[in-house]
Amino acid sequence: MIKRASNSDKNKIINRRLFILGSAKVGLLGLITSRLYNLQISEKKKYEILSDKNRFREWKTPPKRGVITDFYNNIIADNKRVYQVYLSLDEAKDFHSSIFKLKNIIGLSDDELSKIYEKRQKIKPWDTIMVSENLSWEKFSKLNLYLHEIDGVKPVLSTSRYYPYSNDLVHIVGYVGEANADDILKNKKIEENFVPGLKVGKIGIENSTDQILIGKYGIKRYEVNSSGKKIKEISYKKETQGENLRTTIDIEVQRLAQKLLDNKAGSICAMDIYSGEIIALASSPTYDPNKFIHGIKKKDWNEIKNNELRPLVNKSIAGLYSPGSTIKPLVALAALEYGIINPKLKVKCKGHEHPYELYGQKYHCWKKEGHGIMSLRNAIKQSCDIYFYEVARLLGVDKLSIIAKRYGLGSKVLENIFPEEKKGLVPSTKWKKQVLEQSWYLGETVITGIGQGYIQTTPLQLCLMTAQLANGGFKIKPSIIYNNNFNYEEILSKIQSEKNKPIEANILQDRNINLYEKLYKNSNNIEFVLEAMYGSTNEQFGTSFRSRHKDKKYRYAGKTGTSQVRRITEKERELDLDTSEIEYKNRDHALFVAFAPYAKPKYAISVLVEHGGSGSKVAAPLANKLIKKIIDRDKEREIKRKELKNI
Residues engaged in binding other proteins (CB under 8 A)? 6-7, 9-11, 13-14, 17-18, 21-22, 25, 28-29, 31-33, 35-37, 39-41, 43-44, 46-48, 50-51, 54-55, 223-227, 231
Nearer to other proteins among residue 224 and residue 582 (C-beta): 224
| Closest distance to other proteins from the beta carbon of 19 (Å) | 10
- Cβ pair 524, 333 in contact under 8 A: no
Q: What is the nearest approach in angstroms of other proteins to the Cβ of residue 218?
A: 24
Q: Which residues have CB under 8 Å from 177's CB, separation 6+?
A: 199, 200, 202, 292, 293, 295
Q: Cβ 105 to other proteins, closest distance in Å?
A: 36
Which element (helix H / strand E) includes 16?
helix 2-37
Burial 475-506 (b: 16+ CB within 10 A, else e): bbebbbbbeeebebeebeebbeebeeeeeeee
Shortest distance (Å) from residue 90 CB to other proteins: 15
Is the CB of 104 or the CB of 235 nearer to other proteins? 235
Residue 342 burial (CB count, 10 A): 11
Nearer to other proteins, 234 or 577 (CB): 234
Q: How far is the CB of 57 from other proteins (least distance, A)?
A: 11
Nearer to other proteins, 42 or 136 (CB): 42
Helices (H), 222-322: 251-260, 290-293, 298-305, 315-318
Report which of 527, 503, 525 is spatially closest to residue 601, judged by C-alpha positions: 527
Q: Shortest gap between Cβ of 76 and other proteins (angstroms)?
A: 48
Residue (31 or 565) nearer to other proteins, CB? 31
Whichever of 25 and 368 has its CB closer to other proteins, that residue is 25
Q: DSSP assignment, residue 325? A: G
DSSP 8-class letter at 237:
E
Report, in Å, the least distance between residue 142 CB and other proteins: 39
448, 400 contact by CB (below 8 A): yes
Nearer Cβ to other proteins (51/416): 51
**Helix 251-260 × helix 620-646 angle, to 10°:** 170
First to last CA, the chain: 117
CA–CA separation, 281 vs 246, rounded Å? 15
Question: Residue 445 and residue 427: Cα distance in Å, rounded?
Answer: 9
Distances (CA, A) of 411 to 274, 325, 404, 462, 623: 19, 20, 10, 11, 25
- Minimum CB distance to other proteins, residue 121 (Å): 23
**Residue closer to other proteins, measured from CB, 41 or 145:** 41
